[in-house]
Structure 1
């Protein structure tokens, strides 16, 4: 299944607001059972977009200072 940036943005807005219901651009409404399901859907959409090259995977680096 192909995904769009718009779908990813809608999921991320729902996560940020704590909402479980998303209304798409076409008026279709989807309600997730839990925030965990919403997060899984976001990860699935991100992975699909990364595979098609629509978004780039973010890379992180960590630097450790001192002996802690």
Structure 2
């Protein structure tokens, strides 16, 4: 599993390539070429989902309060 920093760096490189019109993204020794813009968008959505999952902290405590309304 990639770290949060690696995911963020790859997302930034993918966004930069997409906005400049390039279909090839290279980060370090890894190079990926996308056939369509829709593939790039799907990859961006997946990366955003992975980043959100990696940066989320689990809920450790839930507080419930109730009242009888008196």
What is the TM-score with the length of structure 1 in the denominator? 0.69
When you count helix as a share of all residues, which structure comes out higher?
2
Q: Give SS of 1:45's match.
A: helix
Alignment gaps of 5+ in structure 1: 55-68
Alignment gaps of 5+ in structure 2: 57-70
Aligned to 1:10: 13
Query: In the alignment, which of 20, 28, 35 is matched to residue 30 of structure 2?
Result: 28
List structure 1 segments (4+ residues) > 2 angstroms apart after TM superposition. Answer: none
Aligned to 2:54: 52
Give the RMSD, CA atoms, in angstroms.
1.6
Summarize deviations over 1:4-58 as a string: whole Å, max 9, x none.
2110101110111011101112x2211011011001000100100001117xxxx
> Whose radius of gyration is greater, 1 or 2?
2
